[in-house]
Structure 1
C-alpha cells in the first residue's frame, strides 16, 4: 500500500482515473467499486473520497474525460466538411464509432446516477452544453429561419435518435437485415428528419 506522501493529490487523481479507464476497456462498470480502484492504485478508499468527494464524482470525472475524447473525434474533421448535413452525419457516425470501440466507457456516461444530494458540476454541464451548442450552430446553417427553441428541440431529437441506434448497436439488438448497417441507418435518420423539419419550417 502506497504511503500518503508518495504522490501528490493531483497525481493520485490522475492514477485513479487512468486505472478506471483501463478497467472499463476490459470489464463493466457494474463490476467496478471504490475498493477495487483504491486497491488498484495502492491507496485507501478514504483517500479517494477525500479527493473526489464521492465515488459518483470520481466516475463523473471519468465521464468528463470520455465526453472530451468523443468531442475531439466528433469535431476533428468538421472544418474540412462544408455541407452542414454532412457535418451532422460525420458527428453522428463518430459518436457511433466511439460507442462501438469503447462500449463500457460510453455506457457509463449514461448509466451513472448521482445521489439525490449530488448535483451535476458546472464542468460536466458545460461539456454537455457545448455539444448541443455545436449541433444548434450546424442546424442554424441548414435552417436560418428556425427559432432558437426549434433548434434546441431538433438538436435533442436528432441526438436521441442517434443515441438510440448506437445503444441498440452496442447491445447487438437492432435485429436488422444483413443488407443494412448501423452507419446507413444513422445517415438515413438524419437525412429524412432534416428534410421534414426544414419543409415544416418553410410551410409555417
Structure 2
C-alpha cells in the first residue's frame, strides 16, 4: 500500500509539472489529457486516478502560481519597508510596489496569470478551501499598508477596500497588457499605475 501511495504521489507531481509547463508556454486552454499522458508516460485513465478532472489539475498549478505571486509581493513589500520613513510613507510606497510587482508577474508570467484569473471551474464546482485561502493571502498584502493609512477602518471594511484596490490595479494591468483599449509600453504602464495608486493612497491618508 505504501508503494502504491508513493507511485500515485509521484504521478501527481509529474502531471502537475507537465501541466505547469504547458500553461506557462501555451496557456491553460492548451491543456489536453492525452498530451499530458504521453508526456509523463502514463495511461490516459491514470490521470483520473489522481485528479478528478483537468480543472483540478489546473487548480494544482494555480496553487504554485499563487505561491510565486505571493513571494514576489512579499519581496516588494519588504523592499518598500526597508527604504525607511514614517508608517504612512511606507504604506504608500508599499501599495505602489505591490501594484508594480503584480504588473511584473502578469508581464513575465502571462500563462500563469491568465490561468489564475481567466480560468473558470465547470458549473456546479466550487473552489477548494486552500485556493480561497491563497486568494485571501493575496489580499492580505494590501490590507497591511491600508491599516497604516486607515487605522480606524474596521477589518471587514478594510478587506473590501483591499479588494477594490486590487480590482483597480488588475484592470489597469489587464487593459494595458492586453491592449483592450490601447496597448501601453511596460515602463509607461508602470508609471501610470504608480500615479493612480499613489493618488489613491494619498486620498486614503487624508480621508
TM-score bin, normalised by smaller chain: 0.7 to 0.9
- Asked whether the equivalents of residues 71 and 131 of structure 1 are also in contact (C-alpha less than 8 Å), the reply is yes
In 2, Cα distance between equivalents of 1:91 and 1:134: 8
SS at match of 1:81: helix
Contact 1:74 1:91 (8 Å CA) reproduced = yes
> 3-state SS of the aligned residue for 1:8?
helix
**Gap runs ≥5 in structure 1:** none
Among 162, 166, 171, the alignment partner of 1:159 is 166
Cα distance between partner residues in 2 of 1:176 and 1:120 = 32
Match of 2:86 in 1: none
Following superposition, the deviation at residue 188 of structure 1 comes to 1.3
TM-score calculated relative to the size of structure 2: 0.85
Which residues of structure 2 form unaligned runs of 5+? 82-89
Paired residue total: 196
Inter-CA distance 170–159: structure 2 relative to 1 (3 Å threshold):
same
Q: Tell me, yes or no, if the aligned pair for 2:20 and 2:61 is still in contact at 8 Å.
A: yes
Structure 1 match to 2:85: none
Matches within 5 A, 1:48-59: 48-59=47-58
- Listed as ranges, the matches of 1:10-159 within 5 Å are 10-82=9-81, 83-159=90-166
Cα offset, 1:91, TM superposition: 1.4
Q: Deviations over 1:158-180 (max 9, x none)?
A: 10111112212331345267797
**Contact 2:8–2:50 (Cα < 8 Å) also in 1:** yes
Q: Is the 8 A contact 1:161 1:189 kept in 2?
A: no
- In 2: Cα distance, 1:71 partner to 1:147 partner: 24
2:84 corresponding residue in structure 1: none
Relative to 1, partners in 2 of residues 1:153 and 1:44: Cα closer, same or farther, differing over 3 Å?
same
**Contact 1:99 / 1:106 at 8 angstroms: preserved in 2?**
yes
User: Taking structure 1 as reference, are residues 80 and 54 closer, same or farther at Cα in structure 2, changes over 3 Å only?
Assistant: same
TM-score (norm 1): 0.86
More helix per residue: 1 or 2? 2
